[in-house]
Amino acid sequence: MSILISKDTRVLVQGITGYQGEFHTARMLEFGTRVVAGVTPGKGGTQVHGVPVFDTAAEAVQAAGATAACIFVPARFAKDAALEAIEARLDPVVVITEGVPVHDALQIVEFARRQQVHLVGPNCPGLTVPGQCKIGIMPNHLFAPGPVGVVSRSGTLTYEIVAALTREGIGQSAALGLGGDPVVGISFTEALRMFQDDPHTAAVILIGEIGGSAEEEAARFISAHVRKPVVGYIAGRTAPPGKRMGHAGAVISGTEGTAGSKIEALQAAGVAVATLPGEVAALARAVV
């Protein structure tokens, strides 16, 4: 067990018959993930890559023993799929879908909080525990098992940094993509708590970006509770205020959400913050 998932996690893919769902189900199976069921309403009784498809999440739990959910359904149906997964007490529920309306995300997050289900995303690449289980869309070949936990708001930048770690011989206990939207489930703070409690994690890499104050909250949490070394990188030093930089959540509002404020807060909490992404692996090397 690392954080959230393990080799015993039994994954349900919602939207398994869609283009993305089918493609990434194949990649997850190749990784070794136990994808035990799919759901596409109206396609119950069929199969995708040998995985049985059901009409509802409840049936998938009952018949196939699914314990976690990965959601690929289009944005306009994502809320319904997520509420269904949370109701069925799948845990974690990982929403890959990009473009989910924020009022839908607010309801998904609130319901997950009530049901005490871990929600990852929306608009995220998912999570990977190397050698055990991958839920989501991270490229399979980048990872190696090891002691470093990676948590990030971005997809590709995470792949870039994980690839550099693996190249340097630094394996990962888990890599977790929180999602690029303004309202997402698990935050940096919760991820840090899980990594702090995980005996297989020796150090944490936190990859943040402009927008919101999740990194500043993480810095406060690190000061108070994290005893493991943390290395950071914040993207968007050169981003102008008021512009959304690709991610819906990556926007500086007035004076809030700047890279400078996040870097300063993390440094004050004792985090080694890299100036360039290429320096992250070396900083990690120094602490593990």
Q: Residues with catalytic annotation? A: 247
Task: Report, in Å, the least distance between residue 285 CB and other proteins.
Answer: 17
| Rg of the chain over all Cα atoms, to the nearest angstrom | 18
Cis-peptide into 101, omega within 30 deg: no
Own/partner long-range contacts of 101-105 (Cβ < 8 Å, ≥24 apart): 101/75, 102/181, 102/182, 102/183, 102/248, 104/78, 104/79, 105/79, 105/181, 105/183, 105/184
Task: Report, in Å, the least distance between residue 9 CB and other proteins.
Answer: 22
Give the position of tokens 């607010």. 106
Residues 246 to 285: which contact other proteins by CB under 8 A? Answer: 246-250, 254-256, 259, 275-278
Contact (Cβ atoms closer than 8 angstroms) between residue 190 and residue 184: no
Which position among 210, 230, 269, 283 is part of the footprint of other proteins (CB under 8 A)? 210
Which of 89/244 has CB closer to other proteins?
244
Each residue 121-150 as x (binds other proteins by CB under 8 A) or -, in order, gives ----------------xxx-----------
Residues 56 to 75: which contact other proteins by CB under 8 A? Answer: 75
Which of 40/123 has CB closer to other proteins?
123
In sequence order, the β-bridge partners of residue 235 are: 209
**3-class DSSP state for residue 257?**
coil
Each residue 93-112 as x (binds other proteins by CB under 8 A) or -, in order, gives ------xxxxxx-xx-xxx-
Q: Which ranges of the chain would DSSP assign to H, the alpha helix?
A: 19-31, 57-64, 75-87, 102-115, 156-167, 188-197, 214-225, 259-268, 280-287
Which position among 8, 156, 197, 270 is part of the footprint of other proteins (CB under 8 A)? 156
Residues 8 to 47: which contact other proteins by CB under 8 A? Answer: none
Return residues touching other proteins (CB under 8 A): 75-76, 99-104, 106-107, 109-111, 137-139, 152-160, 163, 180, 182-184, 207, 209-210, 212-214, 217, 233, 235-240, 243-250, 254-256, 259, 275-278
